[in-house]
Chain A
């Protein structure tokens, strides 16, 4: 479980996050949604420690990340997996070496066990045939799947995904969503996904947080979204005229 307590973040004199508190349960796929520039990515970077919040606390199963020293943070980070918007695979290595990297760096396994574990992870994301390829030889969806394989190699307790579906077609996005949802339950991870893909919201959103101008505007599950009366949320969700008409038709039925 990850708990955020009154997270604020200010750049120069601009406040990007204004006292966000939230809880993300283990074994659940939590989504952070909001318009571009609403502060989603800054919030995620604050949670994983790429940015330091101006104030507030980030608790990983009760352990305050911001109060930890360098070594405790390094230890905690071995329990964290992250999938970046750009996949962020190491382009000087093959896909197999990418997945092996966290194992080589941090596990005490033998080479054979590390290779076995890497192959398992690649099998799990249906990339067993692509291990020898370079990241540049893979399609966008395959790169994301390779990034998922690398993220789960050390069997993390916490998984973070920053817009995992950006740049992908709807069908591939569904595959990625199902994969993330599947491994969250399989490994009982606390998964947090930043997205503005409404298919993801409706498909895998077990806990959804809507951020508006740096503040938590709404929290709920995907089933509640359709009936929500929060204007900012409905404006975000039903942004196009087509979606508005669909919603009206559903309401009239």
Chain B
């Protein structure tokens, strides 16, 4: 039988998350130092993720194109269907939601383990003793950095995914003309904005939830590892959960 304290644990965790966020969004003490941290996070969380985003998106774009050609294309369907469906999948789901799920694995675990290690090696205590608002100083630049960079990564992902689809057309599986026509057919610009708006929410989830798990670690290396895993699991669940609402809201 599940005890009351077990049932209340998610509420308590959410309460601690909100308390931490209240500390994070308090007024920065020395803007120059925050700016320095922000630029560092842009590099660490965003620029360093460009490679993996391009690579995964290129191959997934190519695979989606092949799957659409093999499984959907038939003499009864227009020839542009493959390009059309590839575009819709990339724009509507892959480059925002699935890309952010992948980012939650790379960036989320990175944030949780970095902050967790800082906690167990007393580096966060050292900041607190100095009178620095450690939560704000460490977490705010990460949230802002990832929220700034994720739309860029999403755009790169869309472009790389379409590049992958064109690579398939060059291999002769479908013609570039059909693919281009399909990609342009009934194009709705709002889908790009939808993708970017969704990614902003997902970026906030990844940075804040991972930071929460890392910042609140207690113990040693085992707990840091557990926090890193927990952050990825919870970020993924929250992204998928938020995706349902955002898709309904923005469609």
Q: A-side interface residues toward B, CB under 8 Å?
A: 48-50, 73-78, 80, 82, 84-86, 88-91, 101-102, 104-106, 160
Contact mask for chain B residues 23-49; partner A; CB cutoff 8 A; 1 contact, 0 none: 000000110110000000000000000
Are the C-beta atoms of A84 and B130 separated by less than 8 Å?
no
Are the C-beta atoms of B122 and A77 separated by less than 8 Å?
no
Question: What B residues does A89 contact at CB under 8 A?
Answer: 123
Are the C-beta atoms of A50 and B131 separated by less than 8 Å?
no
Task: Tell me the bound Cα distance from A86 to B220 in angstroms.
Answer: 13
Are the C-beta atoms of B128 and A50 separated by less than 8 Å?
yes
Are the C-beta atoms of A84 and B131 separated by less than 8 Å?
no
Question: What B residues does A106 contact at CB under 8 A?
Answer: 30, 130-131
Question: What A residues does B131 contact at CB under 8 A?
Answer: 73-78, 80, 106
Q: Can you pick out 6 interface pairs between chain A and chain B where the beta carbons lie within 8 Å of each other?
A: A49-B129, A77-B128, A77-B131, A78-B130, A88-B122, A89-B123
Are the C-beta atoms of B130 and A105 separated by less than 8 Å?
yes
Q: A73-B131, A75-B131, A77-B131 are in contact. Are A105 and B126 (CB under 8 A)?
A: no
How far in angstroms is the closest Cβ of chain A from B129? 5
Contact mask for chain B residues 113-146; partner A; CB cutoff 8 A; 1 contact, 0 none: 0000000011101101111100000000000000
Total inter-chain residue pairs, C-beta < 8 Å: 51
Task: Tell me the bound Cα distance from A85 to B132 in angstroms.
Answer: 20
Are the C-beta atoms of A77 and B130 separated by less than 8 Å?
yes
Are the C-beta atoms of B123 and A80 separated by less than 8 Å?
no
Contact mask for chain B residues 146-157; partner A; CB cutoff 8 A; 1 contact, 0 none: 000000000000
Q: Is the interface of A mostly helix, strand, loop or mixed?
A: mixed
Question: What B residues does A84 contact at CB under 8 A?
Answer: 122, 125-126
- Nearest B-chain residue to A98, judged by Cβ: B126
Question: What B residues does A160 contact at CB under 8 A?
Answer: 129
How far in angstroms is the closest Cβ of chain B from A130? 19
Question: What B residues does A101 contact at CB under 8 A?
Answer: 130
Task: Tell me the bound Cα distance from A212 to B40 in angstroms.
Answer: 47
Task: Tell me the bound Cα distance from A75 to B123 in angstroms.
Answer: 20
Are the C-beta atoms of A88 and B29 separated by less than 8 Å?
no
Are the C-beta atoms of B130 and A86 separated by less than 8 Å?
no
Q: A105-B29, A105-B30 are in contact. Are A48 and B122 (CB under 8 A)?
A: no
Question: What B residues does A49 contact at CB under 8 A?
Answer: 128-129
Question: What B residues does A86 contact at CB under 8 A?
Answer: 121-122
- Nearest A-chain residue to B130, judged by Cβ: A102
Task: Tell me the bound Cα distance from A102 to B132 in angstroms.
Answer: 9
Task: Tell me the bound Cα distance from A89 to B126 in angstroms.
Answer: 8
